[in-house]
Amino acid sequence: MQPASKLARATSLPSSAPIELGGGLAEKPSAIAKFRDGRLTDVEVLASDGTSFRAHALCLTSGSDYFEKRLDVELWGCTAGQPLYLPEVPKQGLAACLEFIYTGRCAVADEAELIVVLEAAAYLQIPPLVDAAAKAMRARLSASTSLSFLAVAERQSLSQLAADALSAAARLFAKIAATSAWLSAPAETVRVLLASDRLEVADEKAVYSAAVKWLHTQAPPPAEDDALALLRLVRFPLLSREFVQETVHNEPLLRTVAGRQMLSNSVFDAQHGDSVPRRMGFEKLYCVGGATREGKGDPTFRRYDFVTGRWEAMASMAMADWGGAAAVLGGQLYSMDNSADNDMPVPAAVERYDPATNTWEAVARMSVARISPAAAVVSGKLYMVGGRNDGYDHISSVERYDPEANAWEAVAPMSTGRRWAAAAAIDGKLYVVGGAQKHSTDGLSSVERYDPQSNAWEVVAPHPIGKIYASAAVVLEGKLYVMGGAEEDGDDGELSSVARYDPSTKEWEEVASMSTARRYPTAVVVDGVLHVMGGWAEDCDYLSSVERYDPESDAWVTVAGMALIEGGVGAVAGFQYALLSI
């Protein structure tokens, strides 16, 4: 572990309410009282500024590996009676560590002192206090703390705290770049952030401005090669022509021969096939459609903010929808709408949502009237599969949408008509699982796979649970997960089962069941984590709960804070959501 003093003296963070740290083991009340009164102490400990603290060797050695080694009988025997001087530990840090050793708890004044305490605890080798301080830091990551907490995490090799702090810094980049903390950030931190796809910025101009601002404030200035290496992380082809001409070309750092060459190379690469991805920021969870308890379609559109832990209402759809389908294509969300009362399907309207502008717009309608189809994206095209037509037949037809042409085209139909099927794409192929069969709502066990290259369907291994419809399907780590659903029509028969298909082995396997049986659930993978939400429970009880799956432990955990609530009174917003991430 690294010493605490350097960062502790340099850090300046805003004040906040006292921070309580716990998790340690307390000494007996009599020992704590003697510590407070300074009675029967046999060790004097001096902080870096010479502040003296009296303590008991037995208590120190039981709570700190550092003190146990320092006060070893043989070593201590030679210097007994002399103070222990700790030049690397400030008095605030030492005071908090001693309090924690005796009582198992301590209070920290603010975020700045929290850094001092964590590094003091690391130096004195008090793992429970290090863990408590790191946990408190993770809960207080903000634009004013992320870079400082990242620095201490890297010095102390706290990988989880470092990952969380870096994630927060990317998420809050626009605010951080406007602070003095950005100007004093280490070069490696600046490099990692500028290279990140996760930067949450309005446009690439913000990234360019932050890079130039940081470079101009460094003393001494970086060498030209180092400066250009940093500027090379800016995605220049994403900048507007006007900004490049008026600002970039006039930047002194780029008016050198090497600077001009770097700009020229970046534009040339983009024009000759090297794609330049936009900063995608962090995936956000969107919930579109669903039905209210009154059985009406719900036009409300919601987004879950992982930073605040709250749902927020976004721009509503033009049509209320509970029997449609939705998917994400090209960073935009497509929702297929049905008639507002869901009585008879109409030639299905399709709306497209742009998260950058928080607006919906109509796109080309599908040619086939269908209700309760399945939707998935394969190789940049949106597929709508099956459903029910206006004659109440379960159909096998499939349509494909090309966003460039704003047009739908029919592709090869499935071998079986199915409604309420689940669909997902793996390795450029479309999988459709289960669904309700024609003129019935009994489930199907069959699974079909579509290959766009050959425009043909083939039957693959059936679902291991058997007949199933109204389930959810997503892909996680190259495998297809199918969750919940029902086996047959009626007010019971909901399933909590989960099955996983591996395309490399062409086999299914059952994994841990969800804690709640769900018909019409929805599922999504956000930042590599599988979430399942909503649906119908037994006796048509609508669900708002959310569960999260961990493949390593093969276990589901209820995510209480994400439950979707309508009106703040606990009413379930609906079922048959489309739960998507962008």
How far apart are the C-alpha atoms of 288 and 580, rounded to whole Å? 8
CATH of domain 187-271: 1.25.40
Res 181 pLDDT > 80: yes
**Ramachandran category for residue 380: left, alpha or beta (phi over 0 → left; psi -120 to 50 → alpha):** left
How far apart are the C-alpha atoms of 195 and 413, rounded to whole Å? 44
Confidence tier at 10 by pLDDT (50, 70, 90):
very low
Average pLDDT over residues 224-232: 95
Look at 22-31, 92-101, 306-315, 564-573 and tell me which has the smallest mean pLDDT: 564-573
CA distances from 29 to 34, 100, 103 (A): 9, 14, 9
Residue ranges per structural domain of the chain = 5-171, 187-271, 285-581
Res 444 pLDDT > 50: yes
Q: Which residue is listed with tokens 């909590």?
A: 496
* Residue 118 three-state SS: helix
Res 377 pLDDT > 60: yes
DSSP strand pairing (498-502 vs 507-511): antiparallel
pLDDT of residue 198: 84
- Tell me the DSSP string of 414-446: PSS--BS-EEEEETTEEEEE--BPTTS--BB--
Beta bridge partners of 542: 536
More confidently predicted of 133 and 370: 133
Res 490 pLDDT > 60: no
pLDDT of residue 20: 95
pLDDT of residue 305: 72
pLDDT of residue 109: 93
**Which residues, 6 or more positions from 88, have their beta carbon under 8 angstroms from its beta carbon?**
3, 4, 5, 48, 123
Res 178 pLDDT > 70: yes
Confidence tier at 155 by pLDDT (50, 70, 90):
very high
**Which residues, 6 or more positions from 530, have their beta carbon under 8 angstroms from its beta carbon?**
474, 476, 481, 523, 524, 548, 549, 551
How far apart are the C-alpha atoms of 47 and 490, rounded to whole Å? 72
Q: Which residue is listed with tokens 């294509």?
A: 329
Res 567 pLDDT > 60: no
pLDDT of residue 73: 60
Rounded to the nearest 10 degrees, the angle between the axes of helix 146-155 and helix 111-123 is 0
pLDDT of residue 4: 40
Res 568 pLDDT > 50: no
Q: What single letter denotes the amino acid at residue 399?
A: E
Average pLDDT over residues 232-250: 91
Best-predicted range by mean pLDDT (29-33, 310-314, 321-325, 565-569): 29-33
pLDDT of residue 543: 80
DSSP state of 287: E
Res 474 pLDDT > 50: yes
pLDDT of residue 6: 38
Whether the predicted model's global pTM rises above the 0.75 cut: no
Q: What single letter denotes the amino acid at residue 133?
A: A
Average pLDDT over residues 474-498: 85
CATH of domain 285-581: 2.120.10.80
Q: Are 471 and 546 in contact (CB under 8 A)?
A: no
Q: Are 424 and 407 in contact (CB under 8 A)?
A: no
How far apart are the C-alpha atoms of 414 and 430, rounded to whole Å? 11
Average pLDDT over residues 162-169: 92
More confidently predicted of 390 and 432: 432
Res 509 pLDDT > 90: yes
- Percent of the chain beyond pLDDT 70? 83
212 phi and psi angles, rounded to 5 deg: -65, -40
Look at 270-284, 296-310, 414-428, 506-520 and tell me which has the smallest mean pLDDT: 270-284
pLDDT of residue 254: 93
Query: So what CATH class is 5-171?
Result: alpha beta
Which uninterrupted H or E stretch holds 447?
strand 447-451
Res 343 pLDDT > 60: no
Dihedral of alpha carbons 26, 32, 35, 36, sign: positive
Residue ranges with strand state E in 75-214: 84-85, 106-108
CA distances from 14 to 65, 90, 285 (A): 32, 19, 31
How far apart are the C-alpha atoms of 414 and 370, rounded to whole Å? 15
Tokens matching residue 345: 């399907």
H/E/C letters for each residue in 449-481? Answer: EEECCCCEEEEECCCCCCCEECCEEEEECCEEE
Best-predicted range by mean pLDDT (259-273, 332-346, 535-549): 535-549
Instruction: List % helix, strand, coil for the chain (3-state, nearest 5).
Output: 30, 25, 45
Residue ranges with strand state E in 259-358: 285-288, 301-305, 310-314, 325-329, 332-337, 349-354
How many Cβ atoms sit within 10 Å of the Cβ of residue 244? 17
pLDDT of residue 221: 93
pLDDT digits (tens, 9 = 90+) for 407-416: 999 999 999 9
